[in-house]
Amino acid sequence: MLERRFATLDVFTDTPLAGNPLAVVLDAEGLTGEAMQAIAREFNLSETVFVLPPEESRHRARLRIFTPARELPFAGHPTVGTAVLLALRDRAERQAAALVDAAAFGLEEAIGTLACAVEAAEDGRSARARFKLPVLPTYFGEARAKDALAGVLGLKPAEIGFNRHQPSRHGAGPSFTFVPLASGEALTRARLDAGRFERMFPQGQADALYLYALDPEGVGHRYQARMFAPHLGVAEDPATGSAAAAFAGALMQFEPLGEGTHDVVIRQGVAMGRPSTIDLQLVISEGALRSVEIGGQAVVVSEGVLRVG
């Protein structure tokens, strides 16, 4: 039986016991996919990351990411959290007083290599990371009708949609059905009907549902969000970086964004008592989306050793 180091972090927050919890298993060489899936079920968090040597030596690591139910090609909060953890460990091993401002490396995931940059906080337990998507969001076609979505969420059809925003489907890896809601109150009140969810989506073709509304507490491009993915073993997620990345596609579809750089702030997890803040940046040139970056903070909560085969 081998000992394998692990750490847990809270991601998209600088406060322990807020944000989205993440488990990161280091020394994952030799673990089969089945073993990784079993460990992910044991942690029972929205995602667990397994760190492996990179396929290309110029990169920092290769990651495999599992929900309690399945492996994912990409996920945002595991990328941010793992980037923070590896940067902090690199600093500790070098016994450096602080991370250099330009701490940057590539993390290999099934979707491609993500270029990450990390800036450490003074406490040595937290940092801010950001990464650029290797692929741009894809439009996956029309979403289900408002009546069906309202029934699944315990809402009225009239509560779905605001301004130009209507239900849509986009993905940057995993696919999401984006459901704009007319008010923050409707967002808080929404409740997923698991039975209706299963009947709405054919077997193996379910989308996660990403609900969003304008954030009344901010100005500019600020949104509140919630995410439900029962088919992935995630009843509700406190912060979903991959959905935020795909949300760039919805913004391109419904917002009159002009040329240049656009910064978007998404608050998620408030209804769960785990407030999270995700930074999304879009760069538009000649009327087209050219790049998408996701950023946020993460803090190390615990470290330990797994004893598994």
Q: If DSSP codes are grouped into helix, strand and coil, which group holds residue 142?
A: strand
Strand partners, 209: 177, 228
Asked whether 55 and 108 are in contact (CB, 8 A), the reply is yes
| Count of beta carbons in the 10 Å neighbourhood of residue 31 | 21
293 in active site? no
Q: Which of 47, 159, 236, 293 is catalytic?
A: 47
**What is the Cα–Cα distance from 125 to 248, expressed in whole angstroms?**
30
Burial of 239 (0-12, 13-18, 19+ CB in 10 A): buried
Half-sphere exposure of 91 (CA within 13 A, CB side): 25
100 closest CA partner among 82, 125, 120, 115: 120
b/e map of 155-179 (b: 16 or more CB within 10 Å)? beeebbbbeebbbbbbbbbbbbbbb
Residue 53 and residue 243: Cα distance in Å, rounded? 27
219 CB-contact burial (10 Å; exposed 0-12 / middle 13-18 / buried 19+): exposed
DSSP readout, 242-309?
HHHHHHHHHHHHHS---SEEEEEEEEESGGGT--EEEEEEEEEETTEEEEEEEEEEEEEEEEEEEEE-
What residues are annotated to the active site? 47
